[in-house]
Amino acid sequence: MDWHVWIEQLGIPIPVSPDIGSLIVAAVLIAGALTIGWFAARRAGPVLTDRILRLGGNPESVNSLLITTVIQYSIVALILMIVGNAVPLGALALMLLAVALGAAIGLLVYALLKAFGLQRGPAVAFALSALVATTAATLGGMKPLVDGLDEVGFSVGVRRFSLLAVINAVMIVSILYVLAKAANRVLSHLISRTGGLDISQRVLVQKLAGIAVIVIAVLIGIDLLGVDLTALTVFSGAVGLAVGFGLQKTFGNLIAGLILLMDRSVKPGDVIVVGETFGAVSKIGVRAVSVVTRDGKEHLIPNEQLMTEAVENWSYSSRNVRVHVPVGISYSSDLALAQRLMMEAAAAVERVLVDPKPSVWLKAFGDSSIDHDILIWIADPELGVGNVRSEILNRVWVLFSEHGIEIPFPQRDIHIRSGAAIPA
């Protein structure tokens, strides 16, 4: 088939001779649209970027260059669409304008998809599809293209599956995914700025809002795709029963996580002890609670475990924690001086609270030493307690050395019973 005939069948007229004047007008209009878009984007881009970041935009994906690019090509596309309908142009000039409009839409789609984290390959594919569709629609060639895509397919009962339906489904799912992700991000940021809620309540509301956004997006997608759920009632019931048994633990952890957030027994930032794990709660997820230890290791503890096992929460009602530092001195040491030096060593540590103030208790008269406990209070247990003990003991060692206070080693009295003479 001759390429002229193929292009004409798409609805795109082929000019017999070029209209130079119309081509010049189209080129001037395209250049003017690009200039206006460039100047407007440079002025509005930084301001809009700041507003989007305040509403919860991700600084890693949303930046001034991206927003400026989106504004520029949006304005260019809008101007070219208005010009295409308002200014009479020749066939070749209209074709040039259509290609410019398609390129602007394609670049706009590519920038938006990259901003929402789509990989480069799929983003380029969607951008090229937008370019072709926009160019064909501007030249009046969408109907032959749509009819051609619809003819490629097959029928199953009363349902028809065609290439056009597949493309529509992919486009609908992609658009809903992007919109749901953006809505979830904005809602999470707005909820995090709510002053009337504490950390636990904000996390709970964010999770419920995220679930609501996903449910709404799924329902809209089902409606737009025309899926008939009545035909899947029995099948979906069987699948739901199987999934319910298979994912029983998963749903149990989900419900346990929501309960933890509602009763606020464990909140992000709390310092907890679960079994052998001690650390600060980083986040409460759908399946597990993330606890970061002082070694930098992140333990993922199932939510259900925190509901069924004993949990030691160091910051449940108050962040103040008392720490015991055992110290022993010899029986020959000055007891009052040693206790005063212990108080001095504890008070000199920066993390030790002034109120409640440190105290020294005489714990017991041991076999080799007089045992004491230095009792201190700290307000930041997430920073660890071993480093506080170490700093206090270092200061105690220096002060005891300066004042002649002895820290004894174990001592035992040996009694040798008299008996028969031991042969030489």
Higher per-residue confidence, 117 vs 218: 218
Between CA 357 and CA 366, with CA 362 as vertex, the angle to 5 degrees is 150
Q: Please provide residue 272's backbone torsions phi and psi, each rounded to the nearest 5 degrees.
A: -125, 160
* Ordered alpha helix ranges (H), 295-418: 303-308, 335-347, 386-403
| pLDDT tens-digit readout, 212-239 | 888 888 888 877 777 666 655 655 666 6
CA-CA distance, 303 to 207, in Å (whole number)? 15
Would the pLDDT of 327 be above 90? yes
Q: Which pLDDT band holds residue 294 (cuts at 50, 70, 90)?
A: confident
What's the whole-number average pLDDT of the chain?
76
Instruction: Write out pLDDT tens, residues 145-191.
Output: 566 666 666 666 666 667 667 777 777 777 787 778 777 777 777 77
Q: By mean pLDDT, which of 80-94, 201-215, 257-271, 323-337 is the weakest?
A: 80-94
Write the CB contacts of 154 (distance below 8 Å, at least 6 apart in sequence): 160, 161, 162
CA angle 238, 239, 242 (to 5 degrees): 90
Confidence label for 129 from pLDDT (cuts 50, 70 and 90): confident
**Helix (H/G/I), strand (E/B), else coil: 324:** strand
Query: In which band, very low, low, confident or very high, does the pLDDT at 1 lie, cut at 50, 70 and 90?
Result: very low
Under 8 Å between Cβ of 405 and 339: no
Q: Note the pLDDT tens digit of each residue in 353-370.
A: 888 899 999 999 988 889
The string of DSSP codes covering 190-203 is: HHHT-TTS-HHHHH
